[in-house]
Every structure is written in structure tokens, then in C-alpha cells.
Chain A
Amino acid sequence: MTAHVVLRNVTKRFGSVVAVDNLNLKIARGECLSLLGPSGCGKTTTLRMLAGFEDLDEGEILVGDRVISSSYKNYYLPPEKRDFGMVFQAFAVWPHLSVFDNVAFPLQIRGLRRSEIQDKTTKALTYTGLLDVRDSYPNELSGGQKQRIALARSISFNPTVMLLDEPLSNLDPKMREVMRFEIKELQKRFNFTIVYVTHDQAEAMALSDRIVVMDFGALIQQDDRPVNVYLRPANKFVFGFIGLSNFLAVEVVDGQIYLQGAREAGPVTSVVPRHAPGKPPTLACRPSEIQMVPTGGVHGTVTRRVLLGDIIDYRVQVGPTEVRVQRNVRKPVFNEGDQCGLAFSALHWYDESGARVQA
């Protein structure tokens, strides 16, 4: 892939804490890449280094073929010269300027002619649906509109790279859905590269071409398309971070896998993953990927049933283990105390270090 943005051996320390540990990343032109991870994992620090607000302790960052940050040469292109668009979590829209002046600001700073400024600003406002409020002030507008101002302001000068730092966290759920789509549309239209930072996995999955799941130190756990990250998580951390999960201890008897301490319940599967003797891997499966059948399967008793809307959430006790299962509401309902059988349709295996084990 012809990389557009490259991070090479990037390291950043704050005191004794290594916030970003030897990060290597390549982003293609026009790609929407999400940095996804828990709070404090280093994703925002990475974004700020890309923007030029932080220096690097080690490594370099390139855009195209141009080095914009380098610890070796002690060279850092200042943020105002990087020509990136950036959208912040708290919008960072200037309250003393009208919507129009907010969006026109980068163009005015660049010293364009008035007619050009007028032209480009109007275009940006049109694409973000803000044309009729161009003369209003930010405090008169809603959160979603403020975020659109921030977007319009960043695209008005046609950047090649857009940096978004948790831009939707301060919006209500309905608005978040709307804005996700609008960001995607803008990207299709302008074809800029997006680096998107978030801790919300649903958001990352809905928006990105590629997700980079990070743990503390910005250590990459998985770097892949959303579908693959969800259906084939590389390790236990990723599995647990994305979506709901069951982590079940198992025992192997006569070539069959049983849930630990529940041999009488019946086997889970006879496909046994490779493992060291006496140390079977952990079984991971999603509540939505377990079927409840009236006969057969692994026997258990329903201990809890909670209606969540279009999903019913069950807890099923199998011996000493509690398994969480989610079923669509239109499927037959089980009551608390009912017996049922569990059929596992998708099994994932992780060893004690959290690494994926092939079945």
C-alpha cells in the first residue's frame, strides 16, 4: 500500500510512564483508521503527536514523503504549518465569532482573496448543512450543530489528513448516529485520510475502514477491518474489549471439551484446540452466538431473564459456571427455572497469555 501517513518507532514518555511505546503504523490515502482503546492507553497522545502538539521522545512521523516530526533531527513542523484538519471532543468552536467567521478562519489566516474565502466557506457550510445558520453564533446552536461547525472549519481548506479526537462523545446517542454518517459522507466526497480516536467500540466499528485496537502504551493488539476484529479477535484483550463476551473455563476428557465441573451437562464440542497437557485454553464466545435449544446441547438451568427490548438477556447456570446468552425477542422465550440446552456456534480459544489458539 502506498502509505500516506507513516509513524515509525514512535515513543513518548511522561516522566516514568511510557505513554506510547515504539508505535509503528502505516495509513493509506483516503483510509479511515480508528485508534480504539481504553482511557489512558495512549491513543490521544498519538493523535497529538501527529498534530504537532507534542514532541517525540523517539521516532519519526511522515506524511507523503515529508518528515513532519523527527526526534533524531530534533525537527518538528509546527501545528500551524501541517495543513491538517482537526476536530476536538469539546468542539472548540470560538464563541465570539459567527458560524461563518469560524469556518472562514483558516482561509483568512492563509491570506486568500476575499472572493475565494467566500466561495470555499460557503461550500464547506453547504456540505455540513449549516448554510442557513451562517450568521448565527455558536451559543445559539445545539451540540450537533457545533460539531458540524468544527467539521466545516476543518474541511474548508481541503486538508489531506483529518484528525478526530473523540468528536462524538459529547453528543446524545441519536445525534451520534447522525454525525457518524455525516463524517463518513464527507470522507467519501473529499477523500481525505482520517485518523479517529475513540474508546467507543461501536463507533469505531461503524465508521472505520480499519481499526487499530490498543492497550496501554499504545501497544497494538489488532489491526484489521472491523468485521475481522469482531469475528476473529486476535487475543483475549480484543475479544473482551469489542462487544459482550463469555470467558469460560473448560476441561478436556476423552477428547471432548466440557465446561469445567459440568461434565454431566454434556460436551461443548469434540474439536479440541492444541494445548499443553493439563492447561486447556479459555473458551470465549459471544452471548449472541449461543443458541438455546429445548433438547440436546449442553444442559443448563435458566437463572435469570431480562427483557432488554429487542433482545432477551439470559443467565444460564451450567454446573458452577454462569453463561450469558442473548436472543432476539421473537424467538421462543425461556422462563427462570427452565431447563435448556446450549449450542455454541462460534468458539474462540485463548491461552493463558491471552493469545489466540487455533482450534
Chain B
Amino acid sequence: MADVRLENLAAVFGTHRVFEGFTLTIRDGECFTLLGPSGCGKTVVMRMIAGFEHPSAGEVFIGDQLVSSAAKKVHVPTESRNIGVVFQDYAVWPHKTVFENVVYPLQIQKVPAAEAKARTLEAIAQVHLGSLEDRYPSQLSGGQQQRVALARALVSRPKIMLLDEPLTNLDANLREEMRFEIKDLQRRTGVTILYVTHDQEVALAISDRIGIMGKDGCLRQVGDPHEIYTNPDDGYVFNFLGVANFIPVERRNGAVQIQGSYLPLQVEIPSAARDRIARGEVVAACRPFEIDLVRDGGATRGLVRRRVFLGPTVTYFITVGQIEIRAQQEAEEAFRDGRALEEGEACGLTFQALRWYDKASVGEEARP
């Protein structure tokens, strides 16, 4: 097992600059997810670690070995890096059986036949595909093919495993099952994993640490899932990880109010934020479930424009001043306790907690 060190990595193709100055250390034995939108360059990072791409600048270390360096003209080819890769389209070879697929790395390494067979069958059993080793991929479902890819990546006991959106093509139920299996496998084998995806749900579910990449290729925040989710560094990360309300505020008559409304915001505002509010540099943010809804009273008043029943929760789109805020109630609370609000009804909102973020860090699409 090994760690992975990326120092000042750059990917510049002609005039197309994907990212520069990318520095990251993935710890030995951890499950690290690189999370970001399509086109941010996360797959390029993975491919550089794998050796499919040459970095335009910077260095890649696997364990203690320098495997790629533009400046020093070092490039250890993929086949010599001892890695396991699982691709988005599984890349399971259709002309080989499950067994032949999984044993391939061992054959290349010239492992003696008896040992190779034993290790292959063990890997196949580990991914719960025992008794299917003589089938061809066309006879297997998507989830089963993905497991073949996993077994094949693990059988050679690689130092690190790279997974490129492996679950995107599976249906929702299978996705849930497979991400648990991947996590389980990792715990049992202790292999270092780099998982690349745009799906924040998967990232939050399986990672020891997450690194969030912006569309510009910049690493915005790195930390453990719970930490990142509850304390995002900036508006971009906040918006990426879940539904976000961004609320523009202004100072008026000595109090802080939501733009266009007439009641002061009754929340604790940290002093550092106060000056920045006055200068119009920050915006308030909160999650829909961090707002309490009542019929009468409440810290701020608004009007229910739309109500959507989703099952376990009810979502409200509430107009406050000139902006629209999303809030939600548990279905139980709404219908059993009779606290549901009707469309067109006036209501009161109380914010449990507000964060304050630079306006600039909030992307165009998210701006209110």
C-alpha cells in the first residue's frame, strides 16, 4: 500500500488550461474522493496518476517512487506502476470469461498457474461472483460486470486503486449496494483508493476524505465528509454539496435585513461579518431544513408560493421580499401534526443557523 503525492501538477493542452498548481497528498490506506462538476479536470488528475496522461508540469509520486515529472523527463509507464483501475464503462473484455478477465494481470506478471488460479478465485469470491467465473460479460448484468472490474483491479494486490465514476451507469438501488461493497473491500484489503465522481452523495457516503474541485480546476476544500458538509469553506462548496439558499442581505436603519423585506433578521451575526455586510461583500446561506416554519409570528414573514410533496418531506418555495427561499418540513410534522402550509398562505420563517460567504465564491447559477 502506498500514498500518492501530487506536487504542483498542471494540465495545459495547447491553449486549453485545465488546471495548474494542483497539490494533494492521498494518505496510505485512505479512501479519497475527488469531487467536482463535469469538465473540472478530476479525471485528468486520475489519468495522470495512472500514467495515461503526461503532466505538463509538476510531479507525481506513488509511495517513494517518482513516476511522472515533466521537468526531469521521467515517466514510468502505466504497466509498471502496479495500480488497479476501474473505468466508468467497466472495460471488461467481452471476448474473455470472468475468470480470464480477472486472471489477466497475474498472467502478465507470470505468476505460476496454480497460485494465479487460487488468487483469481479468491478475488472473484470477494466480490460475490463465485460460480460465475465461466460466464462471458454479455451474460452478466451491469452491476456484475462492475464487480468483475473490481476483482480484476484488486487481484494483483496493487498499491493504489483508481476508480473513475464506476457507478454512474448503474440504477439507483444498485448504486447504493455497490458503494457499500467498494467501501467494504477497501476496509478489508487496506488499499489506497482515489475515487473520482461528480455525485456528491457517493462522495459523502464512502470517503475518508473528500477534495472538492471547482470548474476552474482549483482544489477548493479538502476534509472529511461530515466536516465538509457541516462547515463548507465557501459558497461554491456549500452549493455543490446540497440544496442551498443564498440570501442577499443589506444593512438598513442599523439592522441587517433580507433584501427587500422589512423585518430585521433575528440571528446572531458574527462581528466579522457585520462590516462585510455593510460593504455588500457577503451573502447569507442556509439549508432548507435549517429553517423553522410557522403560521403566525416567526422572525421573518413570507408568502408560500409553491408547495411540493415529496414523500418524507414537504418542500416550500417561499417568497421573502424579492427573493425565493426553499424550506422544508418533515411529512409527519406537516400532515399528522397539521402544520402543513397552503400555497398562497402567509408564514413565518426562523433561521436556525446562517452562514456567511463571499458573494464572489457563489457561482453564477446559484446566485439569487
Q: Check B52 for interface membership: any CB of A closer than 8 A.
A: no
Say whether B140 faces chain A, with CB atoms less than 8 Å apart.
Answer: no
Q: Which residues of A lie under 8 Å from residue B204 when comparing CB positions?
A: 306-309
B230 contacts A309, CB within 8 Å? no
B20 interface residue per 8 A CB criterion: no
Q: Does A230 contact B331, Cβ atoms closer than 8 Å?
A: yes
Q: What number of A-B contacts does a CB cutoff of 8 Å give?
A: 65
Q: Are B310 and A227 interface neighbours, CB within 8 A? A: no
Q: Are A181 and B287 in contact (CB under 8 A)?
A: no
Q: What is the bound-complex CA distance between A328 and B353, given in angstroms?
A: 15
What 1/0 mask marks residues of chain A from 212 to 238 whose CB sits below 8 Å from any chain B CB? Answer: 000000000000001100110000000
Quick one: given A306-B205, A309-B242, are A346 and B311 in contact (CB under 8 Å)?
no
B309–A206 touching, CB < 8 Å: yes
Q: Which of B230-261 contact A (CB under 8 A)?
A: 230, 241-243
Contact with B201, one of A231, A289, A309 (Cβ below 8 angstroms): A309
Residue B74 CB within 8 A of the other chain: no
Q: Which of B293-337 contact A (CB under 8 A)?
A: 306, 308-313, 330-332, 335-336
Residues in B neighbouring A306, C-beta threshold 8 A? 180, 204-206
Chain B residues within an 8 Å CB radius of A202: 310-311
* A224 CB to nearest chain B CB (Å): 13
Asked if A307 and B226 make an inter-chain contact with CB atoms under 8 angstroms apart, the answer reads: yes
Report Cα–Cα, A308/B288, bound state, in Å: 15
Q: State in angstroms the CA–CA spacing of A231 and B336 once bound together.
A: 9
Decide yes or no whether A205 CB sits under 8 A from chain B: yes
Given contacts A231-B331, A307-B225, contact A329 B309 (CB under 8 A): no
CB-CB under 8 A from B241, the residues of chain A are: 309
Across the interface, name the chain A residue whose C-beta is closest to B205: A306
Cβ of A241 to closest chain B Cβ, rounded Å: 11
Which of A309, A326, A329: most chain B Cβ within 10 A?
A: A309
A242: Cβ under 8 A from any B Cβ: yes
B342 located at the interface, meaning its Cβ lies under 8 Å from any Cβ of chain A in the complex: no
| Option from B205, B289, B308, B335 in Cβ contact (under 8 Å) with A310 | B289
Do A230 and B205 have beta carbons less than 8 Å apart? no
Q: Assess A329 versus B312: contact at CB under 8 Å? Given A181-B306, A288-B330, A309-B241.
A: no
Closest to B204 in A: A307
Q: Does B350 contact A (CB under 8 A)?
A: no
In the bound complex, how far is the Cα of B44 from the Cα of A306, in angstroms? 28
B290 CB within 8 Å of chain A: yes
| Chain A residue nearest in CB terms to B290 | A330
- Cβ of A308 and Cβ of B201 under 8 Å apart? yes
Query: In the complex, what residue of chain A is closest to B225 when comparing beta carbons?
Result: A307
Given known pairs A308-B204, A310-B287, the reply for A205 and B311 (CB within 8 Å) is yes
Q: Is B139 an interface residue (CB 8 A)?
A: no
Instruction: Name the residue of chain B whose CB is nearest to the CB of A312.
Output: B226
For A201, the closest partner residue in chain B by CB is B311
**Interface residue B229 (Cβ < 8 Å from any Cβ of A):** yes
Question: A306-B205, A308-B205, A309-B241 are known contacts. Are A242 and B332 too (CB-CB below 8 A)?
Answer: no
- Chain B residues, CB < 8 A from A346: 332, 336
Chain A residue at minimal CB-CB distance from B228: A307
The residue that B312 contacts in the complex, of A226, A304, A326, A333, with Cβ under 8 A, is A326
By a CB distance below 8 angstroms, the chain B residues around A210 are: none
Give chain B's interface residue range (CB within 8 Å of chain A): 20 to 34
The CA of A325 and the CA of B97, in the complex, are separated in Å by 40
CB-contacts of A91-127 with B (<8 A): none
A243 within 8 A of B: yes
B200 close to A (CB within 8 Å): yes
B352 at the interface (CB under 8 A from A): yes
Q: Given the known A-B contacts A231-B331, A307-B229, are A328 and B289 also in contact in the complex, defined by CB atoms under 8 Å? A: yes
Closest to A328 in B: B289
Q: Name which residue of chain A comes closest to B179, CB basis.
A: A306
Of A244, A329, A330, the contact of B352 (CB 8 Å cutoff):
A330
The B-contacting residues of A in range 324-351, CB under 8 angstroms, are 326, 328-330, 333, 345-346
Bound Cα distance from A60 to B312, whole angstroms: 38
- Collect the chain A residues with CB atoms within 8 Å of residue B287's CB: 310
A310-B242 contact given A202-B311, A230-B311, CB 8 Å threshold? yes
Contact mask for chain B residues 181-210; partner A; CB cutoff 8 A; 1 contact, 0 none: 000000000000000000011001110000
- Please judge, given known A-B contacts A306-B205, A330-B289, A330-B352, whether A243 and B311 are in contact too, CB under 8 Å: yes
Give bound CA distance, A326 to B287, whole Å.
Answer: 17
Nearest-CB distance from B24 to chain A (Å)?
22
Interface residues of A in 75-96 (CB under 8 A from B): none
Chain A's closest residue to B352 (CB) is A330
Collect the chain B residues with CB atoms within 8 Å of residue A205's CB.
Answer: 309-311
> Is there contact, CB below 8 Å, between B289 and A243?
no
> Is the CB of A263 closer than 8 A to any CB of chain B?
no
> Which residue, of B230, B306, B309, has the highest number of chain A Cβ atoms within 10 A?
B309
Residue numbers of A with Cβ under 8 A of B are 181, 201-202, 205-206, 226-227, 230-231, 242-244, 286, 288-289, 304, 306-310, 326, 328-330, 333, 345-346
Query: Given known contacts A205-B310, A288-B330, A330-B290, what 6 new A-B pairs fall within 8 Å (CB)?
Result: A202-B311, A307-B205, A309-B200, A309-B241, A310-B242, A330-B352
Q: Report 25 cross-chain contacts, Cβ distance below 8 Å, ordered by A residue.
A: A201-B311, A205-B309, A206-B308, A231-B335, A242-B311, A243-B311, A243-B312, A286-B312, A288-B330, A288-B332, A289-B332, A306-B180, A306-B204, A307-B204, A308-B204, A308-B205, A309-B241, A309-B242, A310-B242, A310-B243, A310-B288, A330-B289, A330-B352, A333-B226, A345-B332
